[in-house]
Structure 1
């Protein structure tokens, strides 16, 4: 039976209530409540746990943002209309997949910790500077992870560094350019890396709470996205050289058990504690799925690839000439869609190896990159795949290898976009090929023309947010 992480839910404050109409969907906090609350380090811990809890509630969003446009999904018999429209590129500003309020709640709780945790030292003398910095580092990690999802999905975004803790706070911000957001995230995380603990009190806590390795993994991801390849390699090497993480020999265990020695940061679930993974709401029932798997995706996997039968489950074999149907099974290998306590894995060791390999390819260091890819393939039961001394051809191999290893882990779309946007979107045609797979063949020329605009790769700002904040400007592609 898998070891599970206990997350405290008992953070009961006025600001954990319902929306008062702000675009952040977080009610400004009452001054009396704040004055009465921040008295001990226990209050800081509870506030941080609330941010983790809110992040747990966003797993469906993280899945959709990272997968729905990545070419690895097609609509099933119980498909959601909003999902169908995205697959067919008919994305409007009323599409609920574009709602970002839940992610901004994670940010707001983290901002609250960053503002008020330092004040606790005046009333709790047991809170030392080192321990306080560790709490602040956790908050920086949660805020930075949330903003990184937002900039990859929407590009330029409202960038709040203060909590909505009073009516004096300006909640109607204009968008901040992506580059400025990334620079601040890097600054915060570089600080956090120095102060966050390397290890926590038990093994399972090292997966479900932010640690130094989690911060380094996030930094590596941001540096790779920002094309700072030497920095990406540096952060990956810090994790690799610690020897604290390894590739799990039995690939199934990563998802069925959770909290393995491969996991770096996981969002934990435990249905026995009513902490249920709600991906079933996105994936649907096994006999009536919301999404199914395109045949060409299944064909990417060799028959001897150990990952294939864990990633997918077949619903019908096409015995009567009908097309075989497969569904996503990665997190539910034990009991199709019933395993509601499967962890959502944000970073694992395989991702570190592949991020470093990609950065090495961009630097022209193909042989060293190939050695890292070989580790992943060997675990999957596959042989050597040579990386040619050609950046674009090796990029394509890295992209395919990442697809095979991380399918349906919320990474596919971001991988595609990261590859496409390099050198001023030099390789956007690859992205356009994938995006146009689900549209009517007669409409492909029209869509290829429209998709030549790089802003089409980002979601629109939902009209609810535009109505609440008149300072927000819509993504120009959707105007």
Structure 2
């Protein structure tokens, strides 16, 4: 039984043991797996099951809960507002509205409920887990702290997605375990949320484990390297470049990760999964299928790659057919029909369990390169970029011969390389926004150029006018949340 089959088994045993409940208001969500009440928090096995419930919520919804899976949201939030994905035959009106820069608060894609559900699972472990020390003397403080570090890190990850997607969001740090704990919370500023994320990661770091003793667990559960990778990403978003580099160096210096340099590297990362390059993955299985088959690979698929992915991002060598970027046609994309196939290798409808990769080693190298560039060390940053390009056999047409001492040129080159390396991995919009907003939106042109190239011609000017308002770069709050929490205020652009 692999790790996530065990997690799902424990998850449903837990549900049967404690009962399930549901509640309509997002901030009053009770854990739908039933991890509530003093009668439950008695043994270390129950605590372990509660932590497993956190991971189970990342890859599927609790029974009786009708919603998209988290990976689907993370794909949509990170890709649909950018330039590499377009609606396909099965696209909904909500998908098309985002593509047309017609985003409204009624769009179900901006529903954050699933993310706060996972946050509440984390809060429950953080708030109630320490009490198990008193009731189960076989639980050690070291074991407890390791479990708490997992909860702190996943909570930080969820809030990082919320902060980058919505800007200002409510911080809910206490567990909601009963209906008499309903809270009406206002939004916290993005800066406050980011500070809390850093605090959570600092709390997690000392007690996170280096290894669980198996490869599957080391890639599918939080380790110290997960904490360092997330720290690097958060610090980069906050323009804290020295701390970003320090966090990256902790991963690099461990010697436990590296770029896979064989021609089959793409297969090892995305088909086999849990590779030596992987740091943290949502691990799907036969018991918990991913959402990608229906999204990408049927006649009614919702999304496909834009023409620009092959033509401009990877480029095509029409003279030498053997000159190909190993990440492009036949890997991330099928150029014949613009199929997004990165997560579909050897997949069928009932065997769609390729993992969703949150962090891998190439991301560490390119985050470090970006931070080094902003500190004026373009030459060293480019060495890291060319390590990525060499492994991938990137085409000469995408090598612009940038001036190593030009911060702007190296920044743009790294952003382009991230598009090639992390195509369809839910990172593109966040990469564009992070680089555009730096130094009080000194590079707003990055977003405007992207919109100019990606928007439908008849909507290009309207879309560009919207994106000139920086408040439009964050999602509206879903209308249902505004109706159920009267302390929430709609994001400024959508008022």
- TM-score using structure 2 length: 0.89
Paired with 2:409 and 2:146, the residues of 1 have a C-alpha distance of 43
Q: Which residue of 2 aligns with 1:9?
A: 11
Q: Which residue of 2 aligns with 1:156?
A: 168
1:27 partner SS: coil
Paired with 2:344 and 2:387, the residues of 1 have a C-alpha distance of 25
Aligned pairs for 1:368-387 (under 5 A) are: 368-382=380-394, 385=399, 386-387=401-402
Unaligned runs of 5+ in 2: 61-69, 316-322
Shift in Å, 1:28 = 7.7
Give the counterpart of 1:430 among 446, 452, 465: 446
C-alpha distance after superposition, 1:112-136 (max 9, x if no partner): 0001110001111111111111111
Indicate whether 1:306 and 2:322 are aligned.
no
Paired with 1:102 and 1:291, the residues of 2 have a C-alpha distance of 21
Q: Which residue of 1 aligns with 2:410?
A: 394
Paired with 1:6 and 1:305, the residues of 2 have a C-alpha distance of 38
Aligned pairs for 1:120-131 (under 5 A) are: 120-131=132-143
Give the counterpart of 2:195 among 171, 180, 183: 183
Paired with 1:98 and 1:152, the residues of 2 have a C-alpha distance of 13
Unaligned runs of 5+ in 1: 317-324
2:38 partner SS: helix
Q: Which residue of 2 aligns with 1:105?
A: 117
1:111 partner SS: helix
Q: Which residue of 2 aligns with 1:259?
A: 274
Q: Which residue of 2 aligns with 1:173?
A: 185
Shift in Å, 1:368 = 1.1
What stretches of structure 1 move > 6 A for 4+ residues in a row? 2-5, 13-16, 28-32
8 Å Cα contact 1:137/1:191 also seen in 2: yes
Closer, same or farther: CA 304–443 of 1 in aligned 2, 3 Å: closer
Paired with 1:327 and 1:176, the residues of 2 have a C-alpha distance of 40
Give the counterpart of 2:148 among 123, 136, 149: 136
2:463 partner SS: helix
C-alpha distance after superposition, 1:332-362 (max 9, x if no partner): 1224776511011000011000100000011
Closer, same or farther: CA 83–48 of 1 in aligned 2, 3 Å: same
Indicate whether 1:462 and 2:478 are aligned.
yes
8 Å Cα contact 2:72/2:291 also seen in 1: yes
Closer, same or farther: CA 259–443 of 1 in aligned 2, 3 Å: closer
Closer, same or farther: CA 339–410 of 1 in aligned 2, 3 Å: farther
Paired with 1:35 and 1:470, the residues of 2 have a C-alpha distance of 31
Shift in Å, 1:13 = 7.0
Q: Which residue of 2 aligns with 1:55?
A: 58
Paired with 1:436 and 1:173, the residues of 2 have a C-alpha distance of 38
Aligned CA RMSD, in angstroms, stands at 2.3
Paired with 2:422 and 2:34, the residues of 1 have a C-alpha distance of 45
Aligned pairs for 1:42-441 (under 5 A) are: 42-57=45-60, 58-249=70-261, 250-271=265-286, 274-285=287-298, 287-299=299-311, 300-302=313-315, 303-308=323-328, 309-314=330-335, 316=336, 325-335=337-347, 339-382=351-394, 385=399, 386-388=401-403, 389-437=405-453, 439-441=455-457
C-alpha distance after superposition, 1:308-350 (max 9, x if no partner): 1200114x4xxxxxxxx31100011224776511011000011
Closer, same or farther: CA 335–70 of 1 in aligned 2, 3 Å: same
8 Å Cα contact 2:305/2:340 also seen in 1: yes
Q: Which residue of 2 aligns with 1:319?
A: none
Shift in Å, 1:36 = 1.1
Shift in Å, 1:23 = 2.2
Paired with 2:220 and 2:19, the residues of 1 have a C-alpha distance of 22
Indicate whether 1:39 and 2:55 are aligned.
no
Paired with 2:301 and 2:132, the residues of 1 have a C-alpha distance of 49
Shift in Å, 1:247 = 1.1
Q: Which residue of 2 aligns with 1:320?
A: none
8 Å Cα contact 2:19/2:34 also seen in 1: no
Closer, same or farther: CA 31–433 of 1 in aligned 2, 3 Å: closer
